[in-house]
Amino acid sequence: MKTTISQVSKHLNEEITIGAWLANKRSSGKIAFLQLRDGTGFMQGIVVKADIGEDKFQEAKALTQESSMYVTGTIVEDTRSPLGYEMQVTDFEIIHEAVDYPITPKEHGTEFLMDHRHLWLRSKRQHGVMKIRNEIIRATYEFFNENGYVKIDPPILTGSSAEGTTELFHTKYFEEDAYLSQSGQLYMEAAAMAFGKVFSFGPTFRAEKSKTRRHLIEFWMIEPEMAFMDHEDSLEVQEQYVSHVVQSVLKNCKIELEALGRDTGQLEKIQAPFPRISYDEAIQLVKEKGFDDIEWGDDFGAPHETAIAESYDKPVFITNYPAEIKAFYMKPDPARPEVVLCADLIAPEGYGEIIGGSQRIDDLELMKQRYEDHGLTGDAYNWYLQLREYGSVPHSGFGLGLERTVAWIAGVEHVRETIPFPRLLNRLYP
C-alpha cells in the first residue's frame, strides 16, 4: 500500500510503500541506515543484509544523497526518533539517481545555501521552518473565520501609497504610473465599512534599502480591519490572535520545533493578555537601560526594541507614539493630540516588531487636514476620504508581518529563512 511518512502511525507492523528521497545514510558491513524524507516528514529506514540479500544490500550502500525511490518495508516502533517509528526495509526501487548533490551534510556558508535555496528547502531545518509558517497561516484563517471575519483581498497594483511615498516599487501600468502595494490597509478600511470585520493575507513590497535580519523587500502581511472597534478593542483581538497562533504551533508542530531546537518553554508562556506600556514609559525604560541619547520624538531602532522586550516574557504593546513619527491615518488621542491611538507589538527574545496597528481617523475634516500636513495632494485618495463622508464609524486595524512572526516562533535568527524564496536588497535569485 502506498502512503506517506505522516501516516505511518496508522500502519504499525504493516508493510507499506512510500515515495522518498535519500536525505542521508550511514552503513556498516551488515546494516545500512537510510534517512528518508518524503515531504511530509523524515523517517529512518533500516536495511539488513541478512534479510534483503547481498545484491540489494550493496545497492543500498551505494545510494547517493537525494536520489529518489519507492521504498517498501514494515513499520515498527522506535522510541528514540521524534517520529516514533522507523521502517524495516524489505525492498526499494530507485526512480532517479542524484549525482553530486551540492548540499552535503557538512557545513556550508549562508550565501552558498541562499544561492541553492531551491535545493536547501529540502533540508530538515528548512522543512521545519516552512511547516511552522504553514501552521501559522492555517491558524490565522481558523482564528478569523471562527471570529466572524470575512477574508477580503486588496489589490497589489495600486495607484498611490498606503504607508509613505519613499518606499514604493514603481512600475508602468500601460500609460499610467503604478506601485506595488506596501499595505492593503486603505482598501481594508473600505472593506470594513462593507463587511464589518475583515482580514487580508497577501504579499506586500517595501523598496526601503534596509539590510537587517528583520527586513525583506517582499513579505507577507495579515491585515485585519474592524468597524465599530476602538484602539483598546483592537489590542484585545491582537493578543488573542497571536496567542492562538503560538498555541496552535505548539500543539501541531512538535516534531518541527524539536528539529529546530526551539525552547518551547518560552512559547508556552504566550497567552493573552499581553503587557502594555506607553511610548513615554518605553522611552524612560530605554534610557534606564543605558541608551542616553534617545529623546522623546525619536523612533525606536532594533536595539531599543530588544532592550524593551528583555523586561517581559510575553510580547509587549508599546502604545501612543508621537503623531509625527507615525502614519497620517492614525487617530490622535483626544486627551493628548500630540500622540496617536496606536501600538506596535514587540515580540520577546529580540525578534522585534511583529505588529503595527492603530485606530483610524474617522473625521473627514481632520483626515483632509492630515493629508495636507503630509503633503499628499491630488485626487488619488478621494475614494478613501469618501469612507469618512458616508456613515463614518470608529474603526481600527493592524498588520502582522508573517516572516518576523515565523522567525520568532521557530526561533530562527534571520527572516531570509522564513519565506521560501526571499527577496533581499542583494537577492532576486533563485
Question: DSSP assignment, residue 356?
Answer: E
Judged by beta carbon, residue 179 or residue 219, the one nearer ligand 4AD is 219
Distances (CA, A) of 106 to 102, 109, 113, 197, 247: 11, 10, 12, 50, 34
Alpha helices in 320-363 (DSSP H): none
Q: Which of residues 357, 410, 418, 422 is near ligand 4AD by CB under 6 A?
A: 357
Q: Which residue has the cell 484602539?
A: 231
Q: Which residues contact 379 (CB under 8 A, 6 or more apart)?
A: none
Q: How remote is the C-alpha of 237 from its chain's centroid?
A: 18
Q: Which of residues 38, 256, 305, 403 is near ligand 4AD by CB under 6 A?
A: 403
Indicate which of ligand 4AD, Mg ion, none lies near residue 189 (CB less than 5 to 8 Å, by partner kind): none
Kindly state whether residue 397 participates in binding ligand 4AD, applying the rule CB under 6 A.
yes
Distances (CA, A) of 93 to 1, 45, 47, 74, 184: 15, 14, 13, 16, 50
Alpha helices in 42-123 (DSSP H): 49-52, 54-61, 110-115, 117-120
Binders of ligand 4AD among residues 114 to 173 (CB under 6 A) are 162-163
Q: Which of residues 356, 357, 401, 411 is near Mg ion by CB under 5 A?
A: 356
Kindly state whether residue 404 participates in binding ligand 4AD, applying the rule CB under 6 A.
yes
Q: Which of residues 49, 117, 133, 206 is near ligand 4AD by CB under 6 A?
A: 206
Region from 125-133, 147-155, 269-277, 349-357 binding Mg ion, contact rule CB under 5 A: 349-357
Kindly state whether residue 332 participates in binding ligand 4AD, applying the rule CB under 6 A.
no
Kindly state whether residue 355 participates in binding ligand 4AD, applying the rule CB under 6 A.
yes
Judged by beta carbon, residue 163 or residue 256, the one nearer Mg ion is 163
| Phi-psi label, residue 304: left if phi above 0, alpha if psi -120 to 50, beta otherwise | alpha
Kindly state whether residue 219 participates in binding ligand 4AD, applying the rule CB under 6 A.
yes
Region from 7-15, 36-44, 88-96, 397-405 binding ligand 4AD, contact rule CB under 6 A: 397-405
The CB-of-46 to ligand 4AD minimum distance in angstroms stands at 43
Kindly state whether residue 189 participates in binding ligand 4AD, applying the rule CB under 6 A.
no
# binding residues, Mg ion (CB under 5 A): 1
Q: Which residues contact 196 (CB under 8 A, 6 or more apart)?
A: 148, 150, 226, 227, 228
Judged by beta carbon, residue 41 or residue 399, the one nearer ligand 4AD is 399
Kindly state whether residue 224 participates in binding Mg ion, applying the rule CB under 5 A.
no
Q: Is residue 359 within 8 Å of 391, Cβ to Cβ?
A: no
Angle at 342 between CA 341 and CA 343, to 5 degrees: 140
What residues line the site for ligand 4AD (CB under 6 A)?
162-163, 183, 185, 206, 215-216, 219, 221, 223, 353-357, 397-399, 401, 403-404, 415
What residues line the site for Mg ion (CB under 5 A)?
356
